[in-house]
Amino acid sequence: MFHVLAKSSGPLAPHSGYVDLLEKPKNKKDLKDLLIPVQVYSADPQTRLGITAGICILIKNMPETKGDRYEAIYSFHLGDYGQISVQGAYVTTEDTYLSVTGGTGVFAGAYGQVKLQQLVFPFKVFYTFYLQGLSADMPAELLVTPVPPSPAVEASPAAKAAEPRATSPNYSD
Amino acid sequence: MAAASASLQSFPSNLKLSRTTGVTTASASSFLSFKNSINPVFCKKLAANVNVSGSRKTFLVKNQVNPSDASRPTKVHQLCVYEINERDRGSPAYLRLGQKPVNSLGDLVPFTNKVNSLILILDFSFFVYDNKDLKVLPNLVQVYSADLQTRLGITAGICILIKNMPETKGDRYEAIYSFHLGDYGQISVQGAYVTTEDTYLSVTGGTGVFAGAYGQVKLQQLVFPFKLFYTFYLQGLSADLPSELLVTPVPPSPAVEASPAAKATEPGSTGPNFSD
């Protein structure tokens, strides 16, 4: 299991969130939500990891809850670590689970699900991945103690500025 | 309609899964085989025999499993759902971005329909369909259980037009969408949708009871483009599908309709927190 924080700079842009990576072999009890903003940060969130990229297809507007249901198909690009592809429902007013459809790099062979938690719609999302099928444990750099998700979470200034010490190798941009 | 239903005789009506080390096929059978090999340490074969009104269609699933990946279950679970467009969701939204008078590459079609599901468990004995009388009801976009008594949820996704085929009066789409089945979770699929024939799509993943799912799903059109019948062949599930999803299927035909209670989403006729 790992967590990612995503922060977006625009409405319904790909998510940005802090990524907290804790691999769990099986069941998913802790759910850390990830938002899908444009930039992806580690879950502390001290390190800029990469970006999300994809599309949200509006399925239904729900005026009674002032929310929308989207079908989201996108990937998390995490620099040299690889990428994770996901597909599933994004409902602006509640947490949802998406399918992990695949991965590359350290995430090659990945399957499982990811929980999406919105902290600030639509700018901050917290993700918790429940990944199976990985050939090895995730790198230690990705396993960080998460900052508890809340609307006030902000990436560190160094990570936002993408300073060398606050970014992952060849972070996606 | 009569001509259409006469042509729809070839639907799976009997399902049997037997774990065998060899597969026996009838001489007139068509054989579908796919292999998933990682490291050939040991080989487990699952055979599903689908009796299609006289012709036998056999699916052979061969899994060669690496011990380090042996935790991924390989049992094949079969799940059938009806997807029905009841024309009350503004779906589909045909975006003619190709800007041509005929369907052309560049057109996108977001869609969402309702789902009724039918679930068959492969390791049961043969199911025998009795010919129930089917009511004729307007088409709806919902997912219902396979006996059409329970509204389960919706589909949601997009079809990308790939090719218009005027000679067959059909189109080829690439479809990427998910089945949202309320509290049970969702199943994500991707693959070809050809309006004039049955196709198979890949199951790319799932959540909830379908977490870890992989496999394929067969798409059969009953009434283009309003009623579709899906047969999922799911592997990788951590447990058997819930018993409340096991229902005796209504044989697929163009005349199938959801029960009035399911359409009205009355409390006894819906899955838990059914997606809408």
Domains, in order of start, for chain B: 76-115+135-250 (2.40.480.10)
B22: exposed, middle or buried (C-beta count within 10 Å: 0-12, 13-18, 19+)?
Answer: exposed
Q: Give the distance from residue A173's alpha carbon to the nearest chain B alpha carbon, in angstroms.
A: 26
* Token pair listed for A168: 């992952």
Residue of A85, A80, A84 lying closest to A139 (CA atoms):
A80
The partner residue sitting opposite B178, judged by closest CB among A87, A100, A135, is A87
- Look at residue B55 in the predicted model and tell me its pLDDT: 39
Instruction: Indicate the SS3 state at residue B3.
Output: helix
Query: Which residue has better confidence, B94 or B140?
Result: B94
CA atoms of A154 and A171, how far apart (whole Å): 19
Domains annotated for chain A, with CATH where assigned, are: 2-16+30-161 (2.40.480.10)
Beta-bridge partners for B60: B33, B47
Mutate to test the interface with B, among A31, A99, A101 (most CBs of B within 10 A): A99
DSSP state of B99: -
Per-residue model confidence (pLDDT) at position B202: 94
Q: How much of chain A, in percent, has pLDDT values that exceed 70? A: 81
Work out the minimum CA distance from A166 to partner chain B, whole angstroms. 33
Residue window 51-90, chain A: list those with CB within 8 Å of chain B.
57-60, 69, 71, 73, 86-89
**Per-residue pLDDT at B203:** 94
pTM here is 0.67
In angstroms, what CA-CA distances link B10 with B52, B91, B240? 5, 29, 28
Question: B22 by DSSP, 3-state: which?
Answer: coil
The chain-wide mean pLDDT, for chain B, equals 67
Nearest CA in chain B to A100: B205
Query: Min CA distance, A2 vs chain B (Å)?
Result: 16
Q: How close is the nearest chain B Cα to the Cα of A57, in Å?
A: 7
For residue B232, what are the β-bridge partners?
A: B79, B217
Q: Do A100 and B176 touch (CB under 8 A)?
A: no
String of DSSP letters for A98-146: EEEEEE-GGGTT-EEEEEEEEEETTTEEEEEEEEE--SSPPPGGG--PP
Tokens matching residue B140: 């709806």
Q: What are the residues facing A22 on neighbouring strands?
A: none
Q: Which of A56, A59, A129, A135 to mutate to test the interface with B (most CBs of B within 10 A)?
A: A59
Q: Which residue of A has its CA nearest to B187?
A: A99
Neighbours of B208 (CB within 10 A): 17
What are phi and psi for residue A41, nearest 5 degrees?
-120, 160
Angle, alpha carbons B242-B248-B252 (nearest 5°): 115
B90-130 tens-digit pLDDT: 888 888 888 888 888 878 888 888 887 543 322 222 222 33
pLDDT at B145: 59
Q: Are B144 and B81 in contact (CB under 8 A)?
A: yes
Higher-confidence residue of A157 and B23: namely: A157
Q: Which of B170-174, B255-259, B272-276 has the highest mean pLDDT?
A: B170-174
Locate the chain A residue with the closest alpha carbon to B90: A60
What does the alpha-carbon distance between residue B128 and residue B88 come to, in Å, rounded to a whole number?
34
Strand-pair partners of B189: B177, B203
pLDDT in tens, B35-62: 433 333 333 333 333 333 333 333 433 3
